């Protein structure tokens, strides 16, 4: 039996920021993808990739998450997507009408915060002129179960802001 739309919305995680009129909704499917890659074992490497979805005046919806891929660079405390493989998924999602919204990766901590390296990499990504979106998202999944185990940052040029959920 098909799930109702209301049921799906109930399970989404919604983030807010006082400076933004839009909310950011993380779909059940994207949340499940992040959860599957949580670094629950002591030796587990970081995972990550790209997120895609839709944008309206009221809400940015993160609908799909891709990665990690076999050719990514991964350690316990770092992650870097294979840029060629990532671009392939960006192109195929764009063809399907989804918007490239930004990046995600995991951290081996319960309540994750962006590291200085993360913020540097995000700032460099924002500086790339070829991107269609002028605001991008950075999602970090920690090891916990609840909403506080997922952190969301938005970035525009070099201005990065952390959002809250719940
Ligand atoms: Zn990180």
- Mean pLDDT of all residues in 23-34: 97
Render pLDDT for 109-134 as a digit per residue (tens, 0 to 9).
999 999 999 999 999 999 886 666 77
CATH superfamily of 12-165: Cytidine Deaminase, domain 2 (3.40.140.10)
**What are the beta bridge partners of residue 14?**
25
Distance 125 CA to ligand 1 centre (A): 14
Render pLDDT for 89-111 as a digit per residue (tens, 0 to 9).
999 999 999 999 999 999 999 99
Distance 39 CA to ligand 1 centre (A): 12
- Mean pLDDT of all residues in 31-37: 96
Average pLDDT over the chain, rounded to whole? 91
Does residue 136 register a pLDDT over 50?
yes
- Mean pLDDT of all residues in 60-69: 97
Higher pLDDT, 57 or 10: 57
Distance 107 CA to ligand 1 centre (A): 6
Number of C-alpha atoms within 13 angstroms, CB side, residue 102? 28
Distance 46 CA to ligand 1 centre (A): 8
Decide: 68 and 37 in contact? Cβ < 8 Å. Answer: yes
Distance 29 CA to ligand 1 centre (A): 22
Distance 163 CA to ligand 1 centre (A): 16
Distance 133 CA to ligand 1 centre (A): 22
Distance 118 CA to ligand 1 centre (A): 5
Count Cβ atoms within 10 A of the Cβ of residue 51 and give its class: 0-12 exposed, 13-18 middle, 19 or more buried.
buried
Distance from C-alpha of 160 to C-alpha of 157, rounded to nearest angstrom: 8
Distance 115 CA to ligand 1 centre (A): 6
CB-based neighbours (< 5 A) of ligand 1, an ion: 115, 118
In the prediction, which pLDDT does 1 show? 45
In the prediction, which pLDDT does 127 show? 87
Ranges of each domain in the chain: 12-165
Percent of the chain with pLDDT over 90: 83
In the prediction, which pLDDT does 158 show? 77
In the prediction, which pLDDT does 132 show? 64
Distance from C-alpha of 114 to C-alpha of 155, rounded to nearest angstrom: 12
């Amino acid at each position: 039996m098909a799930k109702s739309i209301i049921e799906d919305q109930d399970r989404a995680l919604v983030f807010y920021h006082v400076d933004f009129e839009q909310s950011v909704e993380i779909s059940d499917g994207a949340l499940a993808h992040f959860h599957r890659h949580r670094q629950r074992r002591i030796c587990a490497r970081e995972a990550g990739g790209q997120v895609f979805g839709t944008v309206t005046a009221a809400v940015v919806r993160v609908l799909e998450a891709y990665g990690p891929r076999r050719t990514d660079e991964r350690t316990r405390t770092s992650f870097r997507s294979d840029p060629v493989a990532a671009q392939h998924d960006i192109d195929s999602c764009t063809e399907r009408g989804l918007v490239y919204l930004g990046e995600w990766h995991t951290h081996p901590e319960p309540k994750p915060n962006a590291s200085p390296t993360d913020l540097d990499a995000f700032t460099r990504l924002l500086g790339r002129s070829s991107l269609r979106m002028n605001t991008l998202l950075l999602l970090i999944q920690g090891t916990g179960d609840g909403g506080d185990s997922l952190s969301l940052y938005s970035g525009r040029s070099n201005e990065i802001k952390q959002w809250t959920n719940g």
